[in-house]
């Protein structure tokens, strides 16, 4: 039940992200934006923002469809992204306060997708 709800949530995000991408793609070049703690204009970082959002949109669509259809690679990819983010945060962060929370979420995702019986059966090859 939760997986279907989460899939629908991701599908809703997949509908909204193109609107956000469009805003950044067509916003005035002198509009101020804060990126990584630095105040700059959208004109200077437009391509970086639009490409990042587009790649995120591709992931959202892939995971939404994968979860909905029970494609096993979707759960592997989703958990892998959290593990990679945990490693990046551990390496690049000057404050290590976020690591326990991120590790907790990664562990919960691992348990949910691989140890919870009904979810792991849903993703098992049919």
Where residue 126 falls among pLDDT bands split at 50, 70, 90? low
- The dihedral built from the CA positions of residue 2, 7, 12 and 13, taken in this order, carries a sign that is positive
**CB within 8 Å of 12: residues ≥ 6 apart:** none
The model carries a pTM of 0.76
Rounded alpha-carbon distances, angstroms, from residue 47 to 19, 86, 116 = 16, 26, 41
φ, ψ (nearest 5 deg) of residue 31? -65, 130
Long-range contacts of 27-36 (CB under 8 A, 24+ apart): none
pLDDT digits 0-9 by tens, 69-103: 888 899 999 999 888 888 888 888 777 788 888 88
Compute the average pLDDT of residues 1-14: 86
């Amino acid at each position: 039940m939760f997986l279907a709800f989460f899939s629908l949530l991701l599908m809703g995000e997949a509908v909204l992200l193109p609107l956000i991408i469009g805003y950044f793609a067509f916003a005035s070049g002198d509009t101020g934006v804060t990126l990584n703690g630095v105040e700059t204009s959208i004109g200077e970082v437009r391509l970086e923002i639009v490409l990042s959002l587009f790649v995120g949109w591709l992931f959202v669509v892939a995971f939404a469809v994968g979860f909905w259809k029970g494609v096993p690679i979707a759960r592997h990819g989703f958990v892998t992204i959290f593990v990679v983010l945990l490693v990046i945060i551990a390496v690049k962060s000057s404050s290590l306060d976020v690591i326990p929370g991120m590790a907790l979420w990664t562990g919960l995702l691992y348990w949910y997708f691989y140890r919870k019986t009904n979810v792991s059966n849903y993703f098992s090859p049919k």
